[in-house]
Chain A
C-alpha cells in the first residue's frame, strides 16, 4: 500500500511539473471565436453571418443557441468548430448571439425572445437570402425555442434540427428539472432582478458536485499535458465561466411554463398568446441527443417523437456522449455534421 501511494504521489507530481512547464510557455489565448459579420442587431441580440465559401444553393441555416452560456462553444477554436464544419459543407450559417442581459433587460420574456427577436431574425435571413424558407437548428433551450417557433410559423421553416433539446420535463432522472420545479424562481428573480450567470453555473455544477468539482480539480494537471490540450482546456474553462445572466422574466416564464407546466407536451406553452402545438410541425425533424447526458436525459429529448404528428418525417440520432460532448467532442462532431448535412440535403 505504501509503495502504491508513493508511486501515485510521484506520478501526480510529475504530471504537475509537466503542466507547470506547459503553462509557463503558453501564450495568452487569442480571441478566435465568432469572427463573422453582424447582419442584424436588436437591443443586445446580434445575428452573425458565417458566409458560405461556395454559392448557397440551399436555404440558409439559422442556429438558435440557449440563453444560458455563450454560443462561442459552437466556434471554440479553428479545429473545434461546429459552425466552421457546417460552412465547409457549403452551408450558409447564421448564429444567434443573445448577448449579455443587464438589469435593464430584466423584463424581457419568452414573447420577446421567440415572438420578436427570433421572428425578426428569420425574416431578416429570408430577405437577405432570397429563399422563402430557412432551416432551423436549436440547441438545448434553443431547441425548445425552435420547436415553439416552428409550430407557429410552419411556412417559414423548411427543416428542423434539435440538438440535446429537452422536451418532456417529467421524465425520471431529470434532476435539473426536479430542482427547478421545487424552487421558487419568481422569488429568486425578485431578489436578483436577472438570474446571475454565476448562480446558474453553480446549479449545473451541483448536479455532479464531485465530478465537476473536486475530481476535476484533482485531475487538472492531466488536462494540461501539452500546449494543444492546454489551449483547448483553457478555452473550455473560459467558456464555462463566461455565463451571461438570464433575463428575469424569461427565467420565470421558462421555469413555470416549460419545467413546471411541461408546456411543450401539455399545450400550456404560449408565444404572443398563441399556443404551441408540436403536432402542427410538418418540417422534417432530425433529433440528436447524448446517451450520457446528465443535464438533459436522452429520454426527455426522445419524447419529441411521440409529441409530433405521426406523418411528420422524423429521425433521431443517439450519440455516446454527454450534453456538450455531443457536439464538441472530436469523437462525435463528425457524426453530427454528417447527419445534419444528410438531413438538410435530402
Chain B
C-alpha cells in the first residue's frame, strides 16, 4: 500500500543522497513540514501505532531544532553554551511539571513567580479578597490552608529546580572535559545522558538534594490533602457525597471483605478437616 507521506519522506531522502546536498535551512523547513503532517495526521501512515508515529515526528523536530540552534554561526560558543544551559533549565522544569500533572496554563506560573502577590494580577487579587470576605470562618480557613500549601509547594519546586540546575552545571563541566570530537552525534548524546544521570545519582547522596526532592513530594501531598479537605467541605455543604464519606465507606467495605475472608478460611479448614475424616 502506498502511503503518500512515506513516499514524500523517501523522496526527500533520495534527493539529499543523490544531490549530496547539505541539509540547510530550506531542506530543514521541508523536513519540518513533513514532520508536522505526520504529527497532525499519523493515522495516514498507520491506524495501529499513531502515538508512536507522532512521538517519532515530534522528537525529530526537537532534535533538528537543537541542531539549527547549534549551527547558528551568528553566536559564539559561550553564547551557545548559555543557550544550552537555558534549554536544560527548561528541561528540568518540564521534568518537574510532568511529575506534578498540573494544568499547563497554571504550572509555568509556579516557576516564574516566587510570591503570591506576584502570582495573581491586581484584578485577580481584588476578586480573591472579595471572595475571601464572603466566606465564613471554616471555609476561609480551609481555602487559606490550600493557598498556603500551594505556596509552600511552589517554593519547594524553586529549591528543587536550583538543585537540579547545579546538577546540570556539574554535568556540563564534566561533559566539556570528556568531549570527544571523534564520537558520532548519537554517541555524544548517549555520553551526555550517562554523565548527567551519574551526576544526578552522585548529587542525590547530598542531604540538600534529598531534602529538596522530599520537600517537593511532601509539599505535593500536602497540597492534594488540602484540596481534598476543601472539596469535602464544599460537597458536604452541597449535600453531595464527600471524599471523607467515601473514605468511611471504603473502610466499611474493607471490614466486610475481611469478615468474608475469615469465613472463607474457616470453611476451607472445615472442608479440609472433613476430607481428612471422611
Question: B-contacting residues of A (Cβ < 8 Å)?
Answer: 1-2, 4-6, 8-10, 12-14, 16-17, 19-21, 23-28, 42-43, 103-104, 106-107, 116, 120, 172-173, 175, 178-179, 182-184, 187-188, 190-192, 199, 202, 206-211, 213-215, 217-222, 224, 234, 294
Q: Are B56 and A211 in contact (CB under 8 A)?
A: no
Chain B residues near A42 (CB-CB < 8 A): 261
Q: How far is the CA of A215 from the CA of B194 in the complex (A)?
A: 9
6 contacts between A and B (CB under 8 A): A20-B45, A20-B53, A26-B46, A208-B197, A219-B186, A294-B201
Q: How far is the CA of A208 from the CA of B189 in the complex (A)?
A: 14
Q: How far is the CA of A17 from the CA of B45 in the complex (A)?
A: 12
Closest 3 pairs between A and B when the two form their complex, measured CB to CB: A8-B185, A215-B193, A191-B224
Q: How far is the CA of A5 from the CA of B69 in the complex (A)?
A: 12
Q: Are B250 and A106 in contact (CB under 8 A)?
A: yes
| Interchain CB contact (< 8 A) of B6 among A8, A24, A103, A190 | A24
Distance of A249 from chain B, by nearest CB (Å): 9
**Among the interface residues A19, A199, A215, A222, which one has the most CB atoms of the partner chain B within 10 A?**
A215
Chain B residues near A207 (CB-CB < 8 A): 197, 201
Quick one: given A116-B261, A188-B217, are A217 and B186 in contact (CB under 8 Å)?
Answer: no
Q: Are A184 and B13 in contact (CB under 8 A)?
A: no
Question: A-contacting residues of B (Cβ < 8 Å)?
Answer: 3, 6, 9-10, 12-13, 16-17, 22-23, 31, 38, 45-46, 48-49, 52-53, 55-56, 59-60, 63-64, 67, 70-71, 91, 95, 98-99, 181, 184-186, 189-190, 192-194, 196-197, 200-201, 204-205, 210-211, 213-214, 217-218, 220-225, 228, 246, 250-251, 253-254, 257, 261, 265
Q: How far is the CA of A199 from the CA of B99 in the complex (A)?
A: 7
Q: Are B48 and A26 in contact (CB under 8 A)?
A: yes
| Interchain CB contact (< 8 A) of B49 among A26, A206, A214 | A26
Q: Which residue of A lies closest to B46 (CB)?
A: A24
Q: How far is the CA of A224 from the CA of B204 in the complex (A)?
A: 34
Q: Are B210 and A16 in contact (CB under 8 A)?
A: no
Q: Are B23 and A9 in contact (CB under 8 A)?
A: yes
**Among the interface residues A17, A24, A173, A183, which one has the most CB atoms of the partner chain B within 10 A?**
A24
Quick one: given A5-B185, A234-B52, are A179 and B213 in contact (CB under 8 Å)?
Answer: yes
Chain A residues near B181 (CB-CB < 8 A): 1, 4
Q: Are A103 and B250 in contact (CB under 8 A)?
A: yes
Q: How far is the CA of A12 from the CA of B60 in the complex (A)?
A: 8
Q: Are B23 and A6 in contact (CB under 8 A)?
A: yes
Chain A residues near B6 (CB-CB < 8 A): 17, 20-21, 24
Q: Are A202 and B98 in contact (CB under 8 A)?
A: yes
Q: How far is the CA of A206 from the CA of B23 in the complex (A)?
A: 35
Q: Are A10 and B16 in contact (CB under 8 A)?
A: yes
Quick one: given A12-B63, A178-B204, A183-B217, are A209 and B95 in contact (CB under 8 Å)?
Answer: yes
Distance of B40 from chain A, by nearest CB (Å): 15
Chain A residues near B189 (CB-CB < 8 A): 215, 218-219
Q: Are B211 and A220 in contact (CB under 8 A)?
A: no
Chain B residues near A178 (CB-CB < 8 A): 204-205, 210
Q: Are B221 and A188 in contact (CB under 8 A)?
A: yes
Chain A residues near B59 (CB-CB < 8 A): 217-218, 220
Q: Are B184 and A8 in contact (CB under 8 A)?
A: yes
Q: How far is the CA of A173 from the CA of B38 in the complex (A)?
A: 42
Q: How far is the CA of A120 from the CA of B186 in the complex (A)?
A: 51
Q: How far is the CA of A54 from the CA of B6 in the complex (A)?
A: 50
Q: Are B23 and A10 in contact (CB under 8 A)?
A: yes
Q: Which residue of A lies closest to B199 (CB)?
A: A210
Q: Are B31 and A211 in contact (CB under 8 A)?
A: no
